[in-house]
Amino acid sequence: MTDEKQPTTIRTAAIDGMMSDITYKGQILARTNKLDSAISASGIMGFALGLIISIVLVMVPVMLMGGI
């Protein structure tokens, strides 16, 4: 009687292991999708801010040296 229950327990443990792997992968995919959406949404603002900062970092030394 114990021999019959043991394989069931082993199969249940294997299924639980697969379910936790599937859950983990689903969470990773959801996190990646949210991160990608956030980057896409703030991409234009980040590009504009980076452009402004780079122009300031180039133009201020040029103006201080009397280039313009």
* DSSP-derived secondary structure for 3-68: HHHHHHHHHHHHHHHHHHHHHHHHHHHHHHHHHHHHHHHTHHHHHHHHHHHHHHHHHHHHHHTT--
The whole-chain average pLDDT of the chain stands at 83
pTM score of the predicted model: 0.48
What's the confidence (pLDDT) of residue 1?
Answer: 46
Percent of the chain with pLDDT over 70: 84
pLDDT tens-digit profile of 7-63? Answer: 567 778 778 888 888 889 999 999 999 988 888 888 888 889 999 999 999 999 888
Percent of the chain with pLDDT over 90: 34
